[in-house]
Amino acid sequence: MENYIEIEKLKNALILCSNSFDDNVRITIAKQGLCLDKFVHDKNPFVRRAVVENGYQLDLFLYDEDMMVRKAIAKQGYGANILIYDKEYKVRKAVAKYCKLYNDQITILAKDPAPEVRAEIAKRGEKLTLLSKDPNELVRVEVAKHGYRLKYLLDDPSPLVRAAIASKGYCLEILLNDKSEIVRKNAKLYAYNHADAKSEWVLERNNFRCLNCNFKLDRTKTPSKRCPKCNFVMCNFIEIASKKKKIKVNWLLFFVIS
């Protein structure tokens, strides 16, 4: 009972301070969900944003002059039909990320001039066919992360896109030899993490390769527990199969490559 009385006293004290000229005081009060009706038209955008974050009278803020207030509305998942056309891409990005959207709204955002907005639509797994052809590499990366159209994106000029494909474990026999270091690292990391899963790869050429120093070992020689070049411990290796047959990963750090 005493705690309840103390809380009520504190609330009353905050209400009395709602007319303070200090912006920080009004922001603190609004964040507590107090005097929201009084702060709706506050001159300070941080105060108005605090009102929005409490979900109070969101319709009144849809055309607020401050971008971060409108963005806060989008983060509440509200007002997509209006904020989808907002002049600030950060607001539209928030709409793409947080709002429930209809198909026609998704289509509009998938064609948004800002790549950040289109990337958010790709993150949702929407319009991936369209976005796989996007001119911005960050959008195509998000498409690849969904494992969509990997064959089409395999020859993408962006190493970030190919690295995303390698992270999905697709065509490792090609990506292990990619010209980009980040792509090769992602391919090696996937191979390392999934070796125990008995993954299968298509055999193009019967060669072992050390994943530490890229030393090649002829198929006629049996791989040892250590790389003959860098002495790296080979705790696992690949069992060779005939050409164009599938091989199963029995061991780890030697992989058949093309």
Per-residue pLDDT tens digits for 87-100: 999 999 999 999 99
Q: Per-residue confidence at 251, pLDDT binned at 50, 70, 90?
A: very low
Question: Which range is least confidently modeled, 5-14, 24-33, 249-258?
Answer: 249-258
Reported as a single tens digit per residue, the pLDDT across 177-208 is 899 999 988 888 887 776 544 433 333 345 55
> Residues near 222 by Cβ (< 8 Å), separated by ≥ 6?
none
**Is the confidence at residue 226, as pLDDT, over 80?**
no
Could you give the CA distance from residue 256 to residue 247 in angstroms, rounded to a whole number? 9
**Torsions phi, psi for 246 (to 5 deg):** -80, 145
Predicted pLDDT of residue 256 = 38
Predicted pLDDT of residue 249 = 38
Asked whether the whole model's pTM tops 0.75, one would answer: no
Reported as a single tens digit per residue, the pLDDT across 102-157 is 999 999 999 999 999 999 999 999 999 999 999 999 999 999 999 999 999 999 99
Could you give the CA distance from residue 169 to residue 132 in angstroms, rounded to a whole number? 18
How far is residue 222 CA from its own chain's centroid? 42
DSSP state of 14: H
**DSSP reduced 3-state for 55:** coil
**Torsions phi, psi for 233 (to 5 deg):** -70, 120
- Average confidence score pLDDT of the chain: 79
Predicted pLDDT of residue 235 = 41
Predicted pLDDT of residue 241 = 33
DSSP state of 213: T
**Torsions phi, psi for 218 (to 5 deg):** -60, 145
The closest of 147, 227, 236 to 192, measured between CA atoms, is: 236
**Is the confidence at residue 59, as pLDDT, over 60?**
yes
**Which alpha helices (H) appear in the chain, and where do they start and end?**
2-16, 23-31, 36-39, 45-53, 67-75, 80-83, 89-98, 103-110, 115-123, 128-131, 137-145, 150-153, 159-167, 172-175, 181-193
Predicted pLDDT of residue 10 = 56
Predicted pLDDT of residue 257 = 36
AA letter at 255 = F
Q: Per-residue confidence at 14, pLDDT binned at 50, 70, 90?
A: low
